[in-house]
Structure 1
Amino acid sequence: MLVRQPLDLFAFGCMLLFCLVMASQQVVLKAVEEDIAPVFQIALRYGIALLLLMMLIRPKRTQVRLAPENRWPALWIGVLFTLEFLLLGEALRFTTAGHATVFLYTSPIFAAIGLHIKIPSERMGILQWVGIALAFSGMVLAFIGGDASSFGAVVLLGDLLALLAGASWGVTTVVVRATGLSVLPAKQILFYQLLIAFVVLGLWSFWSEQASINLTPEVLASLAFHGIGVAFLAFLLWFWLLTRYKASQLGILSFMTPVLGVLLGSWWLNEQIELNFIIGAGFILAGVLLVCRRPASGRRVAVA
């Protein structure tokens, strides 16, 4: 059985870079949404990343065919991965980039609950359940508070979609950890996720009439950033880190992403940050940190 090592300075640097990239993606998607719909841009970025990945694995003759026992789990993570970014793309039509980032990164909460159920060694202690209660209290506060003039039903719909995207990400982590996929090469897992997401999100974009594009320099730069930086390099880095380091410790560092996302949205897009949302987001992040702490049994809870 593969033993994952604790975080070192190299892993911390990789996670800091990963968090910066991931915090920027919602902001960049939102910045060019008048020229290209977020969900269509996500579909195109996965097409770009899929081509790059195929160029990477073909010369090395990397095996992408799955063993029979891994085919259904691979299909499931492909579907969940696609659902996550379909929900995120739709969420960005209604809510701010900052809101979307915070609710997306509730994924460790859903992952911890799923792993508690599926894997005995990942069971949570009292402190982790307190963290989950705190996080869900923060979600409620972020949803129901605020001034109606800036926090209406449309924003609530977007926030809910982003929260569901976070749940999809969390369930993806559970499937990877609870099946044989956890020991497969990162490129192999990423290949199937990108393939399914590109096809399904592309079809959704055309079906929902969101496939129009105005090729401005900003859109081209955004596509390059998302296709190469986010969907190819960042995701490949994330899966590589999961195969080498403890997922729970990586998850603790990932809480930097929603904080950076809110700050970037406010700075770049001039998004208003409501007081209730700041307090609710604080509760959410505090809850995530509690969930990621070492349980009384000495084991750690794996997170997305």
Structure 2
Amino acid sequence: MTDRKDRLDGLAIGLMTILCLTWGIQQVVIKIVADFVPPLLQAGIRSAGATLAVLAWMLWRRIPLLDRDGSLVPGLWAGILFGSEFALIFYGLTLTSASRAAILLYTAPFWVALGSHFLVPGERVRLLQWAGLGLAFLGVILTFADRLAAPQPQELLGDALMVGAAILWAATTVLIKASKLRLVSPYKTLLYQLAVSSLVLLAGAALFGEDFDIPLTPFVIGAMGFQIFAVASVSYLAWFWMMTRYPVSRLSAFSFLTPVFGVLCGAIWLDEPISLALLAALILVAAGIYLVNAPARAQR
């Protein structure tokens, strides 16, 4: 029996800080590697490698894979949504900054709350949550307003793709909450997402004529290894493990550190400017999503 906790202890805080830092760094790594590996191919290799790693881990742990649990169809759809999300993320990062991408992508809880209100029974949005949704939405508007001060069409498109990715991320979450996937092992759900998305992304790379002849330099191999093992395998498995031990609402609130790390990493490694408007947008989004999760925390 898993020993459930009612609050985050030192282990959880330490692990969540490492996970948020890892997820913040990944935006920078994706953007740098895009100079050597096309976006859809990069995302497809990431998912394919992580599929093998997670499958090996599940077999080692003897987690059931082939049970007739009614999860196949929603699992396939979750994989398609997951693959489409990362197609937008990887392509969007070739057009916009990693800092802005981190803020816009982590508006996903905003879209999750909105979708759950209409599609998931028993998850109606309360007044305090609506206030949080309003703040987060103002943050998104401010992010775009900052870009409009010096309009570059490709950068605006990149920002829009990141918002689209956040919506697809939310759609995947709502699908899981509203389908048979909520009853199966989260590790099996992760495997659906990785396996199906690898096929979707690699097929997309071939369809759009991306160059499969990539340079196998130590940097490219190391960067792809980081994405496959540190991000898409270990960090996702750790996240799901933590969800079985700690309150999900508290973990979700802690994950607001990710866009903070993303903005900082973009400034440090890519020399991306951090304007006052961008900082204000980050604060609004974080505060808004914090309020969205506040009622759930109060009930624990």
TM-score of the alignment, normalized to the shorter chain, above 0.5:
yes
Q: How does 1:256-275 map to 2 (within 5 A)?
A: 256-275=257-276
Instruction: After superposing the two structures, state which structure 1 stretch, 177-186 or 121-130, moved more.
Output: 177-186
Whether the 8 Å CA contact 2:120–2:174 is kept in 1: the answer is no
Q: Structure 2 CA distance, aligned partners of 1:253 and 1:244?
A: 15
The answer to whether 1:203 aligns with 2:203 is yes
CA RMSD of aligned residues (A): 2.2
Deviation at 1:146?
A: 4.4
Query: 1:218-270: per-residue Cα shift (whole Å, max 9, x none)?
Result: 11110110111111111112222233333222110111000100000010111
Question: In the superposition, relative to structure 1, how do residues 148 and 7 fare at CA in structure 2: closer, same or farther (>3 Å)?
Answer: same
The answer to whether 1:158 aligns with 2:158 is yes
Q: Structure 2 CA distance, aligned partners of 1:182 and 1:11?
A: 23
Q: How does 1:34-73 map to 2 (within 5 A)?
A: 34-73=35-74
Q: Structure 1 CA distance, aligned partners of 2:232 and 2:190?
A: 9
Deviation at 1:92?
A: 0.7
Which residue type is aligned with residue 234 of structure 2?
L
User: Residue 125 of structure 2: SS of its match in structure 1?
Assistant: coil
Gaps of 5+ in 1: none
Q: Structure 2 CA distance, aligned partners of 1:61 and 1:211?
A: 38
Q: Structure 1 CA distance, aligned partners of 2:8 and 2:250?
A: 10
Which residue type is aligned with residue 235 of structure 2?
A
Q: Structure 1 CA distance, aligned partners of 2:296 and 2:26?
A: 33
Whether the 8 Å CA contact 1:128–1:295 is kept in 2: the answer is no
Could you tell me which residue of structure 2 aligns to residue 193 of structure 1?
193
Whether the 8 Å CA contact 2:46–2:228 is kept in 1: the answer is yes
Deviation at 1:126?
A: 0.9
Q: How does 1:114-193 map to 2 (within 5 A)?
A: 114-146=115-147, 148-149=149-150, 151-193=151-193
Could you tell me which residue of structure 1 aligns to residue 225 of structure 2?
224
Instruction: After superposing the two structures, state which structure 1 stretch, 173-182 or 251-260, moved more.
Output: 173-182
Deviation at 1:97?
A: 0.9
Which residue type is aligned with residue 140 of structure 2?
M
TM-score normalised by structure 2 residue count? 0.91
Whether the 8 Å CA contact 2:147–2:156 is kept in 1: the answer is no
Identity of aligned residues (%): 36
Deviation at 1:271?
A: 1.0
User: Residue 198 of structure 2: SS of its match in structure 1?
Assistant: helix
Question: In the superposition, relative to structure 1, how do residues 224 and 295 fare at CA in structure 2: closer, same or farther (>3 Å)?
Answer: closer
Question: In the superposition, relative to structure 1, how do residues 172 and 6 fare at CA in structure 2: closer, same or farther (>3 Å)?
Answer: farther
Question: In the superposition, relative to structure 1, how do residues 147 and 188 fare at CA in structure 2: closer, same or farther (>3 Å)?
Answer: closer
Deviation at 1:215?
A: 1.9
TM-score normalised by structure 1 residue count? 0.90
Could you tell me which residue of structure 1 aligns to residue 286 of structure 2?
285
